[in-house]
Structure 1
Amino acid sequence: MALKGTLDGETRRAALLELTDERGSLQLAEAAAMWGVHPMTIRRDFELLESAGRVRRVRGGIVPVQIDAFGTRQGRNLRAKERIAAKILPLLPDGGAVGLDSSTTAYVLADAVPATSGLTLVTNGLSAFDALARKPNVRSYLTGGEREEQNLSLVGALTISAFSAFHFDCSVLSALGVHGDSGTSESTLAQAAVKDAMARASASVILAVDASKLQSRARVRALTLDRIDVLVTELDPADPRLDPYRSTVPRIL
């Protein structure tokens, strides 16, 4: 059944763009069915959105231009992420169980985990899992779920179920934004749900964010600060930029 077949073109394109941003991609055939219009109408919408620089055409559909390649984002603030990983490594319990999200910061940490650590790590990040799988004395698990291109991750009910099956000594997760009033935030509901599942399964939650994320908010609320046990950034712990978090987060590194 058509959802929005009566919308004018401009309104429909705005809705198409919003859905594409939320999902990370949108197929032409699916959009035509949802909006109850001819596929050529959606094709023209896609062409206009691409001409405006809002999306990029891919086989059968579109993706938002805001979605950078994972490797590109991985290289952004790399020294900060390496400093964060160095601070987190001593917090990981020898032979313990650790949850790891799909962020580029988590990937840097996964790459730095010693091969002799004996850790069990569970992640929904495809790149993090690839890094961990090369370490002979690290037991690594990749959750099931639906592939999400933005973070090269898996999300959805299977992902949440997989994280919920473990008792983690700690989970290490990042966020698109973290604010002293509203806590962490993500770009999609699916990512926020994954972070919630990780936190629920963990005895301790480590939030790993570089300074560019501080006092910023993304579209979807995720974890309140009272659910964070350790906040790790590349900054000196006494840096005043961390002041908004001191009254709520027990430990700042």
Structure 2
Amino acid sequence: MSEESTAEGDHRRASIITALREGVRRVDDLARTCGVSTMTIRRDLQVLEQRNEIRRVRGGAVPVDAWTFDHRLGRSTAAKDVIAAKLLSLVPEKGGIGFDGSTTVHSLARCLKEQPVHDLTAVTTGFETFHELSRTPGCRAYTTGGTADLHTGSLVGPLAQVTLQQFALHTCFLSATYLDESIGSTEFTADEAAVKRALTAVSQRTVLAVDSSKLGRRAVAKCLSLEEIDILVTDLSPEDERLEPYRGLVELM
């Protein structure tokens, strides 16, 4: 098995992305941060550049605009379609629901027009998701105020959290940067994690939707423990062995 396909390599490259977003740029500094050789870092940067997740510059690398909403929307589209189809069955015909600003949950909002809803209220932290929801018959859409997270485009900060406190929701639909069986879901920024926790706090049920490439990996900011997640929805069959670490801890779908 090649190094690039190992869990160790995946975790290290996730750490590199996190470090780049925190301002670490030079190969030497990345090597010290990750505790590996500069040769290993250069190999990892080559892999990340091929994935269009970073741009290499002299002496190091910088994060590219690959994490803008439009770019993320075009990643893992088949997996997102599978997930959105599963999520549709969890949307009530009426009542209150919450959406984060992720592209995975945006796929659900886009598909919501295919399912009849009546007197449904939806609040979201994402501009693009709000636009989809506002065009959905039978759905009254709200978006929070707040500051746009430069990494995700989601609305975050105290104003977003205060707005969410005005709602009492049946279900919130969230995604995550990564999901680890030990510490739960994680995000690239603490602000993003905080607003997702705020959505969970006003919801009776929390649904986390992540594609299988995000499993077993960690970003820098802790968000939700597995105990706080009611249903985990992925592009995998619930019987898939890759979901074994989560079996019995959350409902799998």
Into which bin does the TM-score normalised by the smaller protein fall? 0.7 to 0.9
- Indicate the percent of aligned positions where both proteins have the same amino acid: 41
Unpaired runs of 5+ in structure 1? 1-16, 24-48, 56-63
Query: C-alpha displacement at 1:130, in angstroms?
Result: 1.1
User: What's 1:81 paired with?
Assistant: 80
Mapping of residues 219-238 of structure 1, within 5 Å = 219-238=220-239
Query: C-alpha displacement at 1:22, in angstroms?
Result: 4.9
- Paired residue secondary structure (1:169): strand
CA contact (8 A) 2:67 2:152 kept: no
Rounded to whole Å, the distance in 1 between the matches of 2:19 and 2:236 is: 36
Rounded to whole Å, the distance in 2 between the matches of 1:154 and 1:198 is: 12
User: What's 2:127 paired with?
Assistant: 126
TM-score between the two structures when normalised by the length of structure 1 = 0.75
TM-score between the two structures when normalised by the length of structure 2 = 0.75
User: What's 2:202 paired with?
Assistant: 201
1:175 aligns with 2:176: yes
Rounded to whole Å, the distance in 1 between the matches of 2:127 and 2:145 is: 11
Mapping of residues 1-253 of structure 1, within 5 Å = 21-22=21-22, 51-52=58-59, 54-55=61-62, 64-65=63-64, 67-114=66-113, 116-118=116-118, 119-249=120-250, 251-253=251-253
User: What's 1:13 paired with?
Assistant: none
Q: How big is each residue's C-alpha offset from its partner over 1:158-197, in whole Å with a ceiling of 9 and x where there is no partner?
A: 1111112111100000000111111000000001101111
Count of equivalent residues: 203
- Structure 1 segments, 4+ long, off by >6 Å, are 17-20
Alpha-carbon spacing, 1:133–1:237, altered in 2? closer, same or farther (3 Å) = same
- Paired residue secondary structure (1:236): coil
Name the larger-Rg structure.
Answer: 1
Q: Over aligned residues, Cα RMSD in angstroms?
A: 2.2
Alpha-carbon spacing, 1:125–1:244, altered in 2? closer, same or farther (3 Å) = same
CA contact (8 A) 2:149 2:192 kept: no
Unpaired runs of 5+ in structure 2? 1-16, 24-55
The one-letter amino acid paired with 1:90 is S
The one-letter amino acid paired with 2:228 is R
Q: How big is each residue's C-alpha offset from its partner over 1:134-159, in whole Å with a ceiling of 9 and x where there is no partner?
A: 22321100100001232221100011
- Paired residue secondary structure (1:98): strand
